[in-house]
Amino acid sequence: GENVEQHPSTLSVQEGDSAVIKCTYSDSASNYFPWYKQELGKRPQLIIDIRSNVGEKKDQRIAVTLNKTAKHFSLHITETQPEDSAVYFCAASNNMLTFGGGTRLMVKP
Partner 1 sequence: GAGVSQSPRYKVTKRGQDVALRCDPISGHVSLYWYRQALGQGPEFLTYFNYEAQQDKSGLPNDRFSAERPEGSISTLTIQRTEQRDSAMYRCASSLGVTGMNTGELFFGEGSRLTVL
Binding residues for partner 1 (CB under 8 A): 1, 4, 6, 31-32, 34, 43-46, 49, 87, 89, 91, 93-102, 104
- Residue 26 has what DSSP assignment? S
Tell me if residue 57 falls in helix, strand or coil: strand
Instruction: Tell the smallest beta-carbon distance from residue 41 to partner 1 (Å).
Output: 9
Which residue number, 45 or 81, has a Cβ lying nearer to partner 1?
45
**d(Cα 103, Cα 27) in Å, to the nearest integer?**
21
CA–CA gap between residue 98 and residue 3 (Å, rounded): 7
Shortest Cβ 16–partner 1 spacing (Å): 27
* Three-state DSSP state, 40: coil
Q: Which is nearer to partner 1, 71 or 78 (CB)?
A: 71
Q: Which CB, 44 or 80, lies closer to partner 1?
A: 44
